[in-house]
Structure 1
Amino acid sequence: MARPRSSQAATPRRPAQVQSKDRATSSVAARRAVLKRIKDEGVEHVLFWFTDLEGHLKSFAITPNEMEGALDDGMGFDGSSITGFNRIEESDMVAIPDPTTFQILPRPVDDHGHELGAKVGRMICDVVKPDGTPYEGDPRYLLRLALERMRKAGFDTFNVGPELEYFLFEDDKGTETLDEGGYFAMTTQDAATEVRNDTIHALESVGIQIEYHHHEVAPSQHEIDMRYDDALVMADKTMTYRIVVKEVAAWHGYYATFMPKPLFGENGSGMHTHMSLFKGGRNMFFDPKDPHHLSKTAKSFIAGLLVHAREMSAVLAQWVNSYKRLVPGYEAPVYVAWSQRNRSALIRIPLYKPGSEQATRAEIRCPDPACNPYLAFAALLHAGLEGIEKGYELPDEMTTNLYRLSAEERKQRGIVALPGSLGEAVEELAGSELMRKALGEHIFPRYVELKRKEWDEYRTQVTQWEKDRYLAAL
């Protein structure tokens, strides 16, 4: 795989000078296994990946000769150059590679099936301070803290299965589609089937198990679904998925985007996220005696998601454009309710199949694929655990199409809507004690500041729509 544009090296303004110290958090055996693979498979470079606060992938490259020291001690970088990280006077950071994430990146092939370009590996890193303590601004560490809260609550696994949708366009200069195919299209209109097939091969080559793929509702819109996994592993996979999708599209001369709503009048791209809690290998969401086959744990978890949905919206849908998707009429959830079959509800409970008790789960439909998965999964887990620990009661199921109810009918039933803009969502976030706890005292104020700034930049623009509507009339 060629070095992707969106994961270009996070070039420091000055090299971070950090005192050498054995900061590795992995076993000696795991580190030796990585070094052996690098040598045996002729890897020429290894990319160290981590994310900034908004979920943009950052990387820098290490040569094989430097790998042993990097595995033992990490590599220093200037955190002041990374969005949401520390100011320049306290900017020295260290990236500690996680050996369990080592993969050799896929490469394009020529007409004869020969791989092109250098053989490159990648490892996902935890970010620490020079003394080796975790950096509170590292989104990966934040998710680790949420999982620690889960373990203290008596569970051992938070399984997550996100469904990422995306668009393929002719290039990154516009939104010229490749086809006019619709949902599950299997005709010549679905021009990107070959691109999807190559994407699946590339994803599987880096250890991402794929369950199925298909054309989505909008023209040139696609979905490739990963098999569920532990939340931290899945967040790593989500970051990898996004860059692989973009890279394979580029091999074919196209551009892939996870922008939530690139086309006016068409469905946007969501990231429906399936969740369940396990303990000792058992799904704690399942109850054979309940009419919906949901345990008390599951009901309280779902209630937590509903109660805190507005507060965490700015994390699950974090861009101005996210709220162009979250409007009635385009299959996107707007109203805070739950149902087993009603897809207009925010949370859906997939139908139970006898013998599939382990698959009992809740699906939240408001996240979009441009979120930071580490922050998103952490926020969802905290909200669900809050419901469990405080014994939230699950409201009645909503079986009616919520889009067809009047505002007064929704009010009578106690159904609220998600925020209608990033500005509204940020203020909900800013006033949330739970999200302050979920994001931590380091990330929380920085994240609120970033999103307020984005909203202010947007709301002060004069758009073409305004000129067309008002210039000649006013």
Structure 2
Amino acid sequence: MDHTQQAMARLASSGVGGIALTWVDNAGITRVKTVPTARLKEVVHNGVGMSPVFDVYLVDDSMTESPHTGGPDGDLRLVPDLDRLTVLAGQPGWAWAPVDRYQASRAPYPGCQRGFAGRQVARAAEEFELDLLMGFETEWVVGDGTTGRGPAYGMARLVEHSDYLREVLAALDAQGMAPLQLHPEYAVGQFEVSVAPASPVAAADQAVLVRETIRAVSARHRLPVSFAPVPHLGGLGNGRHLHLSLWRDGKNLCRGGDGPFGMTADCEAFLAGVHRELPALLALGAPSPASYLRLRPSQWAGAYHCWGLENREAALRFVTGSPDDLGGANAEVKCFDGAANPYLVVGAVLAAGLAGLREGLTLPVPVTGDPAHQPGQRRLPEALPEAVRRLAESAVLREAMGEELLGAVLAVRQAESDLFTALAPEELVGAIRDRY
């Protein structure tokens, strides 16, 4: 029995009748096509058709165009990754798999965001014999953002939604996602969950599946949820921070070295590359005009272009971890949010870090305390157009992404900036709240 037949037998024994095949577009929206379980073998061989125009869809489902993409012509094939095939605990009778997108000839499609992430993983292994572990923290808001019991991080908030949150944990665990922790966050009705780290592409897959699992469990409880950067004006908003660590031959390179706070030279160079590209990375990790309503000083959002040890105001936070926890040392990029395509995020962060390794970069002096109160500290871009300009100017990310993928991303960012430019903050928040 081959791999596909084994998968079909497993799905049949679990009562699965349909498979959701997802990809994430450049606006950060998870798009889907579904197929009956009985068609899985055919779909693995031939893929499922989908227009490339979705690469230039905006968050409101309108379309723009880029130099390489747009209009009614063309076709792509969506091919599921059977290694990530998952029976969905929150949607009985359904399974899920992420797809890679190919041209009709089955040649790789240069606009495939998941393929871009995979290429950067391969470059890390081939050039530097590096493996990386990554993980996203997912924040979301339940309800209308105005009602809820108890203080921030308070037990009262957990009690209020005890059954619901237990089911979220159970669903994630049943899907093999190893939840690490779940807790009430600062804003009213806000929660955060993190799952075990994984290789970069798998971590991006998990970010998609965590969100859709929470959405499914929420629907069963008839609870409205939002993962938008700012679901309700005046709140702190939803981040989706990225944690990462570098490994070689089973050794965590974020500790045991002579660099800052025990970093190895390779770790420092990688993080220095990420630090250098943060203004450009913001157009990928904080991609909505609404992202900049969240990215404010003194709100633990990472609004300043700096790094520090355990500094939750720095855009790049370094964590040494406990002495006996070999995997505990890692870095966190705090300025990213839930509007981002996670495949673009992990691919671009990898590309930035690998450039730092090639150039032997070093980190600047770390920042302690709130950078908002320290003279000379630079803000990251304060609005989307500036971040888009920095992305367009980044030679590192242009080379890594390629003209077709980068061109589509820039077109979407510019079009969304134009789409929402005349809206007041309250209108902008309302326009995107239910899109994520």
Say if 1:42 and 1:345 are closer, same or farther in 2 by CA, change over 3 A. closer
Query: Which residue matches 1:395?
Result: 364
Q: Select which of 289, 292, 297 maps to 2:266.
A: 297
Contact 1:337 1:398 (C-alpha < 8 Å) held by counterparts: yes
Among 183, 202, 215, which residue is 1:214 paired with?
183
Aligned residues: 417
How many Å separate the matches in 2 of 1:90 and 1:152?
A: 36
Which residue of the partner structure matches residue 401 of structure 2? 439
1:11 corresponds to which residue? none
| Structure 2: unaligned runs, 5 residues or longer | 58-67, 428-436
Task: Determine the structure 2 residue equivalent to 1:100.
Answer: 83
2:149/2:157 contact within 8 Å kept: no
- Look up the match of 2:194: 225
Cα 1:105–1:178 shift into 2, 3 Å: farther
Q: Deviation string for 1:222-267 (max 9, x for gaps)?
A: 0011111111101011011111111211111111111112233332
Indicate conservation of the 8 Å contact 1:179/1:189, yes or no.
Answer: no
Output the CA distance in 2 between the equivalents of 1:32 and 1:294: 46
Paired residues of 1:293 and 1:352 also in contact (CA < 8 A): no
Q: Does 1:254 align with 2:228?
A: no
Larger radius of gyration: 1
Deviations 1:291-338 (A, max 9, x none): 611111111111111111111111010001100011113221111111
- CA drift at 1:90: 4.2
Name the counterpart of 1:279: 248
| 2:432 paired residue number | none
SS at match of 2:34: strand
Q: CA deviation at 1:39?
A: 2.8
Match of 1:126 in 2: 100
What do you get for the CA RMSD once the two structures are aligned?
Answer: 2.1
Query: Hey, what does 2:123 align to over in structure 1?
Result: 149
Distance 2:304 2:53 in 1: 39
In the alignment, what sits opposite 2:338? Answer: 369
* 8 A contact 1:335–1:344 mirrored in 2: yes
* Greater relative contact order (CA < 8 Å, ≥ 6 in sequence): 2
Q: Does the 8 Å contact 1:181/1:218 carry over to 2?
A: no
Residue 177 of structure 1 deviates from its aligned partner by: 3.6
- Secondary structure in structure 2 of the residue aligned to 1:248: helix
Mapped to 1, the partners of 2:388 and 2:56 lie a distance apart of: 18
Provide the rounded CA distance (Å) in 2 between the counterparts of 1:188 and 1:342: 26
Question: Which of these residues, 105, 109, 112, is aligned with residue 135 of structure 1?
Answer: 109
Does structure 1 retain, via aligned residues, the 8 Å contact 2:51–2:73? Answer: no
TM-score by length of 2: 0.90
CA distance in 1, matches of 2:27, 2:126: 28
Deviation at 1:153, TM superposition (A): 2.1
Cα distance between partner residues in 2 of 1:361 and 1:189: 28
Listed as ranges, the gaps of 5+ residues in structure 1 are 1-27, 109-117, 170-174, 466-474
Structure 1 residues 373-401: Cα deviation after superposition (integer angstroms, max 9, x where no partner): 00011111111111111011211121132
SS in 1 for 2:216: helix
| Residues 303 and 60 of structure 1: CA distance in aligned 2, closer, same or farther (over 3 Å) | same
Q: Does 1:63 find its partner at 2:36? A: yes
Kept in 2, the 8 Å contact 1:165–1:258? The answer is yes
Q: Tell me, in whole angstroms, the C-alpha distance in 1 between the residues paired with 2:423 and 2:295.
A: 21
2:312 paired with 1:343: yes
Return the alpha-carbon distance in structure 1 between the equivalents of residues 157 and 242 of structure 2.
30
Q: C-alpha deviations, 1:252-289, integer Å up to 9, x for none?
A: 11111111122333322112211111122221222255
Whole-Å Cα distance in 1 between the matches of residues 362 and 289 of structure 2?
33
Map Cα deviations across residues 127-173 of structure 1 (whole Å, 9 max, x no partner). 1111111111111011011112211222342211211111111xxxx
Structure 1 residue 187, shift from structure 2 partner: 1.8
Over the matched positions of the two proteins, sequence identity in percent amounts to 24
- Give the 3 Å change call, closer, same or farther, for CA 345–64 of structure 1 in structure 2: closer
Aligned to 1:111: none
TM-score, length-normalised on structure 1? 0.83
Q: Which moved more, 1:153-162 or 1:250-259?
A: 153-162
Q: In the alignment, is the contact (CA less than 8 A) between 1:232 and 1:374 conserved in 2?
A: yes
